[in-house]
Amino acid sequence: MLVLLLLRSAPRSLFSRLFFRVLAFCIDNDTSPSIQNTPQTQGSLILLLTPLHDTHSAMTTRLDVEKGSSFADDEYGAHVVRSDTELEKDGGNLVLQVEDAAAAGLKTAKDGRTILVPQPSDDPRDPLNWPEWKKHAILIIVALAAFGGDFQSGAGIPLLLSQGEEWGLSPAKVNEAGNLNVLLLGIGGLVWIPPLYFWGRLPVLFWTQLLGTFMVLGSVLVQDFTAYYALRPLTSLFLTAGQTIGLTKIGLWVVIFLCSPYCGPFFGGFIVSGLNGQWRPVLWVVFAWSCFVLLLIIFLADETWYDRSLPVQPERPTGIYGRFCNLVGITGIRQRAYKPNAFPSVMRLFEVFTKPTLWMVFVVYALSFMWAVGINITSSIILATPKVAGGYGLTLKQTSVVYLTPLVALMLGEGIGHVANDWIANRYVRKHNGVFKPECRLYIFPFASVLMIAGLVLVGQALAKGLSVGAIVVGWGAYVLGVMVSSVAITAYILDVFPSASGEVSAAVNLSRTISGFSVGYFQAPWGEAVGYDVSFGIQAAIVAFAMGLVFVLIAVGERIRKFGGPLHFAKHQ
């Protein structure tokens, strides 16, 4: 309720007015040579954006422009495109509105003027023509599947002490299985991208969820650490598939996605504390969640692969038997002639990683997000350490309550990011003669970085000087709030750059997050103990500031970097 009240009152608050005025100044005074006074941009070009909340396609946000504006495709370098790959070839420029879209044979949104990209076909089997309830159902299913990967990983944190006592090991030794579990969350996403192309989205999602559910069951039933150590990484390998299926409701997907690492410790801590140290019930809850998602996939999910470049679409079987064939992948095998082979599907993934824009985003996100894991690890240890040993002496239940901090911050960040990102994009287009470029998505990143830097410094000072738990809560909340806002911005940006590769982009961002987080788990605590937490967290804040500098580079010359990298070529599909 508090979050809702804050969001409702935010537009009228002094801070919100100042925040949006500063953003407006930055947008209105952008003098990038690629936008101002060039032959390609004189006049009004209405460009299509990747919305944070739209359910139709990757690009359907309406942008209002001044009356009386006009354009000429060839003269101004923008074209009416009908697919994401065409948009990539055009370097991001796109005409959204024409005088008479219907006469030009273009399909529009309900307003009758906004051109839809990709252009839906007349086939009711086209996912763009599905009813809204079905689109939302699939969105929720994929988001819940993505949630499960980090949920099961985070649920292992409050189990370490109890498992160590049962197996005669230190919590640090038991946590080695958790480190591999985190690592496979990132690597697993890369493994499942090619099958999405040459086999299908639905069978990949079904089989990975099914096998991952069995891995969770095995982790519950094991009696020794060796078996547990083998099953935990495999669990992440399979349950990470949901994090690689590209979605267009970025804000909703990101908030569900980023909530999952904190929900595991939050609920798991209460369960272990309430059951006198029993750890298996926590994994039984994870198993129940995995079964729930599996049932949703079986009964509600559908195959979203649809190649609009084909003159005739392959038939899909219907009925109970047809549903079985679609689900387990028999239909995908039968339709192999219509899909790319395994080699170009793999090469497309490699091609995405050859683009300089992706690598800059990869580094920026890694340097910004990795400290979330650091705070998670350090705070949980020090909060539970007895006061006589220099800690806070909180019980497991009290520590679990503290995990409400990032959850509330993520919800608040989703509300701010949802409003601010769309506001920035729309204002940018209005103030630059109807021209849109993806780099305007990044304007909010410096503001998010300020929150992250301040939060890291405050947490470091609190841990080093023994300040109250409230100081840790405020610092942690500020950092996670910044992470949420920046995540939406950076994800929207890279999806605008590569709209036809949402799966590959999602996998790359996920890999950036997990690889960096995996590494922090090995050095965060010893580093803080060696030099002091005020110093270690101060250096982390400086690294976030460096990442902000890279974002300024993208804002300044990102368009040139995009055009230098060029469009994708392998396995083009809409």
The reply to whether 417 and 330 lie within a common domain is: no
Q: What percent of the chain has pLDDT over 90?
A: 30
Query: Taking Cα atoms as reference points, which of 193, 557, 552 lies closest to residue 356?
Result: 557
Structural domain contains residue 81? no
How many angstroms separate the CA atoms of 208 and 235, rounded? 9
The reply to whether 422 and 324 lie within a common domain is: no
Residue finishing a domain among 278, 306, 339: 339
Query: Taking Cα atoms as reference points, which of 156, 267, 175 lies closest to residue 220?
Result: 156
Convert the pLDDT of each residue in 33-79 to its tens digit: 333 333 232 222 222 233 333 333 333 333 333 333 333 343 333 44
pLDDT at 83 over 90: no
Tally of domains in the chain: 2
pLDDT band, very low/low/confident/very high, at 168 (cuts 50, 70, 90): very high
Convert the pLDDT of each residue in 530-574 to its tens digit: 899 899 999 999 999 999 999 999 999 988 898 888 888 765 543
Structural domain contains residue 345? no
Structural domain contains residue 51? no
pLDDT at 166 over 80: yes
Q: What is the mean pLDDT of residues 503-511?
A: 86
The reply to whether 320 and 356 lie within a common domain is: no
Segment among 15-24, 96-105, 229-238 with least mean pLDDT: 15-24
CATH number of the domain at 145, please.
1.20.1250.20
Convert the pLDDT of each residue in 443-468 to its tens digit: 999 999 999 999 999 999 998 888 88
Angle, helix 445-465 to helix 469-497, in steps of 10 degrees: 150
Residues paired with 108 in a beta bridge: 115
pLDDT for position 249: 61
How many angstroms separate the CA atoms of 324 and 331, rounded? 9
pLDDT for position 152: 93
Q: Are 285 and 119 in contact (CB under 8 A)?
A: no
Average pLDDT, the chain: 78
Q: Distances in Å between the alpha carbon of 31 and those of 26, 34, 35, 385, 447?
A: 10, 8, 7, 53, 20
The reply to whether 159 and 259 lie within a common domain is: yes
Q: Which domain holds residue 505?
A: 1-44+351-574
The reply to whether 384 and 465 lie within a common domain is: yes
pLDDT for position 173: 86
pLDDT for position 415: 81
Query: Taking Cα atoms as reference points, which of 46, 98, 121 lies closest to residue 433?
Result: 46
Q: What is the mean pLDDT of residues 240-263?
A: 74
The reply to whether 297 and 261 lie within a common domain is: yes
Structural domain contains residue 533? yes
CB count within 10 Å of CB 120 equals 17
Pick the more confident residue, 352 or 252: 352
Structural domain contains residue 92? no
The reply to whether 166 and 203 lie within a common domain is: yes
How many angstroms separate the CA atoms of 468 and 473, rounded? 9
pLDDT for position 288: 97
Cis peptide before 118 (omega within 30 of 0): yes
Q: What is the mean pLDDT of residues 251-275?
A: 82
Structural domain contains residue 54? no
Convert the pLDDT of each residue in 359-417 to its tens digit: 999 999 999 988 887 677 667 777 877 887 777 888 878 888 888 888 899 888 888 87
Convert the pLDDT of each residue in 130-151 to its tens digit: 898 998 888 889 889 989 998 9
The reply to whether 313 and 334 lie within a common domain is: yes
E-assigned strand segments in 346-449? none
The reply to whether 294 and 362 lie within a common domain is: no
Q: Which residue has the tokens 């040579």?
A: 33
Angle, helix 445-465 to helix 356-384, in steps of 10 degrees: 30
DSSP codes joined into one string, 289-336: HHHHHHHHHHHH-------TT-SSPPP---HHHHHHHHHHTHHHHHTG
The reply to whether 257 and 392 lie within a common domain is: no
The reply to whether 269 and 146 lie within a common domain is: yes
pLDDT for position 34: 38
pLDDT at 234 over 80: yes
- Side-chain-side CA neighbours of residue 290 (13 Å): 31
Q: What is the mean pLDDT of residues 478-487?
A: 92
Indicate the length of the chain as a whole number: 574
Query: Taking Cα atoms as reference points, which of 93, 84, 95 lies closest to residue 128?
Result: 84
The reply to whether 20 and 144 lie within a common domain is: no
Phi/psi class of residue 319: alpha, beta or left (left: φ > 0; alpha: ψ in -120 to 50)? Answer: left
How many angstroms separate the CA atoms of 572 and 84, rounded? 9
Structural domain contains residue 28? yes
Convert the pLDDT of each residue in 274-326 to its tens digit: 898 899 999 999 999 999 999 999 999 998 888 877 888 888 888 899 999 99
How many angstroms separate the CA atoms of 103 and 3, rounded? 47
Residue finishing a domain among 339, 359, 381: 339
